[in-house]
Structure formats: structure tokens, C-alpha cells
Structure 1
Amino acid sequence: MIYLKTDEEIELLRASNILVAKTLGEIAKAVKPGVTTKKLDKIAEEFIRDNGGIPGFLGYQGFPNTLCTSVNEQVVHGIPNDIPLKEGDVVSVDCGVLLNEFYGDSAYTFGVGEISKEVAMLLQSTKESLYKGIENAIAGKRLGDIGNAIQKYNEANGYTVVREMVGHGVGRHLHESPEVPNYGRKGSGTLLKPGMVLAIEPMINLGKRNIVQENDGWTIRTIDKKVSAHFEHTVAVRKNEADILSSFKFVEEVLTLQSEN
């Protein structure tokens, strides 16, 4: 069952997603060599609660933390821990918030210190492909158009698309119908209608597309242990162009300041 949101509900969803965006901005300030993902998790939980939200992932189906922090070959659902991040690592930070009974959901992959050119290019392709997908989140197109745009862009750049993990609808529940794959055929799948709210989240690998689940029951990693990248926005489907409810603005303001210093 796909729930179409009213304009009022979309504004509530926007507020939840902006809190996620601001939380990721706080995380951006803290990501550096020597910091632990558990520390990032603490920063996020405190910031979300201080701003009237509830961590959306904490306790969700038993997940133990506020953030999913997935380092290097980890694709998604990494559990924050006490291992310090190292120069050259990448960490995908996925954050969810419940505010005013609606969820926000967004993810950003950060480089830790200086990262290799090869890995930087993977991050760039993944992030750019997110926007290629979003360009197709308009009424009258189909879900396959979103996935096809993401898949074609990354495969043309020599990367592989994780198939088992997908985006999803967002609303009063963190995960709603429909599933939003990052691959597909143009013109296939569910018809997109105004009021659909989707989390679009390409997960793109440097090596093979195959993944495995770690023994913790959560963490998904690449089978060949090569790096993976993950970027996510929550968007509302509209008639002429998608309405991006989340934002990377706060992250990118911090990263720009850091690069200038």
C-alpha cells in the first residue's frame, strides 16, 4: 500500500528531514582521523534530542544505535563502535529522525582526512548518480526510471550497483512501500504520482556488486572487501521536478570551511 502525502504532511516530512540534514552537518564537524563511530553516534543522538526529535533508527527492529556508520567495505547498517577512524577511510553515515510523527532519512559518505583519488571518484559518482535518480522522481515516470538512471551512470563509470539493498517510501513509518531499487529498466515498475515520498539511496561498489552480512546480524559489506559508497535523500514526487526534502547543505558548508583552512 503506497500512501500519498498531503502538502501539509510533506511539510512535516521536510522538517524531519532538515533535522537529519543538520545532524549530518554536526557529524561533518567531527569526522577526522582518531574519532570513533561511537563518538559520532553520541553527537547525533544528543543533537537530535536537543532539537525535539527522536532518533529514528535507535531500537528499530532491535538496531542498537542512532546512526548506521559503515566504514570502507561496509555498505550499510554498520553498528557504531570504539575503533578509531584512520586517515584514508571513508564512512557512510545514515541517519533517521522521528519528528512530529514523521520520519526523516538521509545518508552521506565522508572521507576521513585525505582519501585516495580512486575512492574520491567512487564517492563523486555515487553522489552524482543520486541526483540523476532524483531527476526522474516526477509524476508520470516509473520507479524503473529512477533505478535505470542510477545504474547507467555508475556502470558507465566502471562501478557496480548493490541490488539487494534498496530505497523505500518514507512517512509515518521509516520504511514504507514502494521499494526503490538502484537499478532497473526505463518505463518499468510502479507509476510515480504526486505525493509519493521516497528515500532514494544509491549504494555503489568499487569492486564486485555482491554483498554479505556480517555475524552481527546487521552490517552489510562487499564480498571482495573493496570500498562502497552510499548517499541518500528523501524526496517528494511532484509534477515537474522532485522536491528534495533532505539537504546536504549543512554538511557541505562544513566541508568547504575545512578545505579552506
Structure 2
Amino acid sequence: MITLKSAREIEAMDRAGDFLASIHIGLREVIKPGVDMWAVEEYVRKRCKEENVLPLQIGVDGAVMDYPYATCCGLNDEVAHAFPRHYILKEGDLLKVDMVLSEPLDKSVLDVSKLNFDNVAEMKTYTQDYKGGLADSCWAYAVGQVSEEVQNLMDVTRECMYIGIEQAKVGNRIGDIGAAIQDYAESRGYGVVRDLVGHGVGPTMHEEPMVPNYGVAGRGLRLKEGMVLTIEPMINTGTWEIDTDMKTGWAHKTLDGGLSCQYEHQFVITKDGPVILTSQGEERTY
């Protein structure tokens, strides 16, 4: 079922989006050559405990295991849903960090600082029943100086996201978003992942409608004021096809070993156009 969000719900998601954006901004100083990738997970956990925010990815249902971390950390050829881990970041790496967080909560209702984030079953009792404001955003980070290939991929992927958001207007259709992203990426020789897509947000992190990064203009669901969506193009240097780590059921990699990049913003469709709720303050906000 697709729901149109109330002003109260949008305000709560905006608060969550502001906090999540501050996390991404803070990670700019964390992600550097020589740093253990696990520092990304530690930074997010620390900020969540300090500011009483639930990391909502912990405990998400999986085919093999529930997701155990606050972040997804995709390195180089990893497309999405890869685990944060102990790996020393190297000059030229491409790291994508994705997360879903609540808005800052009232400590009298729940004291996040007292939760054990490593106890996935316990965390799931809080995260799966959460129905407040939440935000979902992925950002790509260049580790030190990167190659022209990596920089071009990052630039094209980020532009794909904004091109898709530009199409999210009242009266347009879902297919207009995907067609614009696909046309831009493929015209530059890149592959557009089909298996993973954007989506509606609220009251849970994955709601209808699904928002593919490919499609046919003029087709699909008509967009309406009050929809809150994510657009999250996953763009590959080679084939669009991906493979999944069957041991965990989570991490996806490019099938041919090529690089993959992802950017994601969450936004609300208003009568005046899309308004980004996870803006970091420096990019286009419409």
C-alpha cells in the first residue's frame, strides 16, 4: 500500500534526515588512507548513542541471517549491503556507506545509550517495531587520491541521482525517473543495476512504491504530492549484473569484478517539486 505522508510525518523524517546528513559529513574526516574500515561503523554507533538515535538496519530480516550492523560499507566492486569489517583503507579505494537511522528520540521513552548494538536479537525488538521518523541515505567516498576511472564513476552516479530526483514531480510517473537515470548512465558507457532499487519510506524503511533506476518514460505509477521516496542509483563500470554472497545472503558484488558506485537521497514530493530530506547542505536541494 502506498501512503501519502502528513506534515507531522515529513517533519519527523526531516529531523532524521538532518542527523543522518551530519553523520555523512562527519565521515569525511574519518575515511582516509590507513584507517580501518571498522572505524566507520564505530563512528556511527558512537554518534547514535550520544544523540539517542536508533540504527534501524540492525535486525533487518535476511534470507540467511538478520543484518547485524548499523552501516553497509561497500568497497570498490561491492554494490550494496556489504558488512563493515576490519580492512585498512588504501589510497584510491572507493567506499560507499549506506545507513537508515531514526530521528533523535526522547530518552524517557528509550535510552539508546543503554542498548547493546551487538545483540542483534535484542536490537530487533526495538528496530522492527519502530514507527517514527526515519531517514535512508548512501554516500560514496574517495579514499585519498583516486583514479580518473573512479572519479568519473562517482561523478556520473551522483548526477544520475539528481537527474532522477528532478523527475520526481507531481504528475510524472515512476518510469520517468528510471528512464532518465538509465539514459544518462548508459550514454556514458556504464551499467545500471536492475536487482536493487529505490523505494518509498515511512512508516518502515522499505515501503511501496519501488523506484527502479531503469525504465520507460511515461510508464508506471503516477507520482503524487506527499510521497516520500529514495532514489539510489547503483552504477557499474561494466555489466549491470551482480552476484550475491550466499554465505550471509547480504553482500552484492558486480558479476565481472568492475567498480560500482551508489548515491542515495530521501526526499518528499511537494506541489513545488522534490525536497531532499537528507541534504548535506552543499548539493542541490531543489
TM-score by length of 2: 0.85
Instruction: Say which of 186, 189, 197 aligns to 2:217.
Output: 186
User: Do structure 1's residue 198 and structure 2's residue 202 form an aligned pair?
Assistant: no
Q: Give per-residue Cα distances to partners, 1:79-121, cap 9 Å, x unaligned.
A: 0011111111100000110128121000111010111001100
What is the Cα deviation at residue 248 of structure 1?
2.9
Q: Is the 8 A contact 1:150 1:182 kept in 2?
A: yes
1:164 — aligned with what?
195
Instruction: Say which of 244, 247, 250 aligns to 1:218.
Output: 250
Mapped to 1, the partners of 2:135 and 2:269 lie a distance apart of 15
Superposed counterparts of 1:18-97, under 5 Å? 18-61=18-61, 62-97=66-101
Q: Give per-residue Cα distances to partners, 1:159-213, cap 9 Å, x unaligned.
A: 1100000011111201111111000000111110001000110000001111000
Mapped to 2, the partners of 1:28 and 1:48 lie a distance apart of 17
Mapped to 2, the partners of 1:90 and 1:27 lie a distance apart of 14
Q: Is the 8 A contact 1:73 1:227 kept in 2?
A: yes
Q: What is the SS of the residue equivalent to 2:240?
A: coil
Q: What is the SS of the residue equivalent to 1:78?
A: coil
Q: Give per-residue Cα distances to partners, 1:61-95, cap 9 Å, x unaligned.
A: 21111110000000000100111111111000001
User: Do structure 1's residue 229 and structure 2's residue 233 form an aligned pair?
Assistant: no
Q: Give per-residue Cα distances to partners, 1:198-248, cap 9 Å, x unaligned.
A: 011000000111100013211000001110000000010112310111113
Mapped to 2, the partners of 1:124 and 1:145 lie a distance apart of 21
What is the Cα deviation at residue 49 of structure 1?
2.5
Q: Once structures 1 and 2 are overlaid, which stretch shifts more, 144-153 or 48-57?
A: 48-57
Mapped to 2, the partners of 1:136 and 1:238 lie a distance apart of 12
Mapped to 2, the partners of 1:50 and 1:172 lie a distance apart of 24
What is the Cα deviation at residue 250 of structure 1?
7.2
Instruction: Say which of 140, 143, 147 aligns to 2:178.
Output: 147
Mapped to 2, the partners of 1:216 and 1:28 lie a distance apart of 29
Structure that is richer in helix per residue = 1
Mapped to 2, the partners of 1:101 and 1:46 lie a distance apart of 21
Identity of aligned residues (%): 39
Q: Give per-residue Cα distances to partners, 1:39-65, cap 9 Å, x unaligned.
A: 110101111231221112112221111
Mapped to 1, the partners of 2:180 and 2:282 lie a distance apart of 26
Q: What is the SS of the residue equivalent to 1:155?
A: helix
Q: Once structures 1 and 2 are overlaid, which stretch shifts more, 151-160 or 65-74?
A: 151-160
Q: Is the 8 A contact 1:69 1:92 kept in 2?
A: yes
Mapped to 2, the partners of 1:142 and 1:221 lie a distance apart of 30
Mapped to 1, the partners of 2:188 and 2:169 lie a distance apart of 25
Q: Once structures 1 and 2 are overlaid, which stretch shifts more, 35-44 or 132-141?
A: 35-44
Amino acid at match of 1:198: L
Q: What is the SS of the residue equivalent to 2:29?
A: helix
Instruction: Say which of 142, 148, 151 aligns to 1:120.
Output: 151
Mapped to 2, the partners of 1:29 and 1:108 lie a distance apart of 14
Q: Give per-residue Cα distances to partners, 1:23-44, cap 9 Å, x unaligned.
A: 1111111001122221110101
Root-mean-square deviation (CA), in Å? 1.5
Answer with 1 or 2: which has the greater Rg.
Answer: 2
Q: Where do 5+ consecutive residues of structure 1 fail to align?
A: 252-261
Q: What is the SS of the residue equivalent to 1:152?
A: helix
